Amino acid sequence: MAKGTKYKAREPDESGFIHYTEEEHSVWKELYNRQMTIIQGRACDQYMEGIKKLGITADRIPQLGDVNKVLKKETGWEIAWVPALIPFTKFFNLLANKKFPCATFIRTREEMDYLQEPDVFHEIFGHCAMLTDPYFAEFTHTYGKLGDAADKEHHAWLARLYWFTVEFGIMNTDKGKRIYGGGILSSIGESQYALTDEPEHRPFDIMTVLRTPYRIDIMQPIYYVIDDMKQLFDIAHTDIMSYVKEAKQLGLFAPTYPPKEEQKVS
């Protein structure tokens, strides 16, 4: 949701079809194949089942219409084409209407391992599989409605809730900890790092989450772990905004990561 990007989304034609180049499909294939290998035994079952339901494969970048047919059937969601990065207000409004924003560009080979802007691989491979899960879908919808109705002063506080769940969430299972956050699942580095002993794994507590600062350009030093997917559903039906307002009064915790280095001007 930053203001600028060097990428430009590919626009659908009059029939809704997006024409990607063979090189773009090739980048998708490489990203898909390596991530599917890495996340075996790391991704939660709901995610792996969602990938199967969506019929996503390595062959080609999925068309939004094909993904939408499955999402609408499973949970009533769909993907919304957006030109690139969008502001908080637009983001919340789309989620409030069960539309998940997707900029239809794919990263270049120079940025295969890390991309600050969310591309079509991050959005579809990382996020759409989880939107087939009713609990996750309900949480995301409720989150969007709250953000859509909230004052702008509360948007950054709500963003931390999204960051530590939808993007970088981990859950307990009978097989051990598993990943459900799309920011981890679409990242080659983070998907291998997140379940190691190096980062801190904390039990999910909404007030603590809302007060935890983060940086988008580093491996996360802290992950919050939910007990199961129903916990997200239960969180969605609490008075989230009362927690947000209390967190704002209490203020942020001190960061557990080093400050971002300032670029020196010669």
Where do the domains of the chain lie? 22-250
Average pLDDT estimate for 194-200: 98
Residue from 24, 78, 123, 167 carrying the catalytic annotation? 167
For the chain, helix, strand, coil in percent to 5 are 50, 10, 40
pLDDT at 263 over 50: no
pLDDT of 57-79, one tens digit each? 999 999 999 999 999 999 999 99
CATH number corresponding to 22-250: 1.10.800.10
Angle at the Cα of 128 (from 183 to 209), degrees rounded to 5?
40
Average pLDDT estimate for 23-46: 98
Average pLDDT estimate for 94-120: 93
Residue 115: band (very low, low, confident or very high) from pLDDT cuts 50, 70, 90: confident
* Cα gap 32→20, rounded to integer Å: 16
Average pLDDT estimate for 222-243: 97
Q: What is the pLDDT of residue 262?
A: 52
Residue from 24, 122, 123, 141 carrying the catalytic annotation? 122
Q: What is the pTM of this model?
A: 0.94
Using CA atoms, how far residue 243 sits from 67, 123, 130, 225, 240, in Å, is: 34, 28, 25, 18, 5
122 annotated binding-site participant: yes
266 is catalytic: no
167 is catalytic: yes
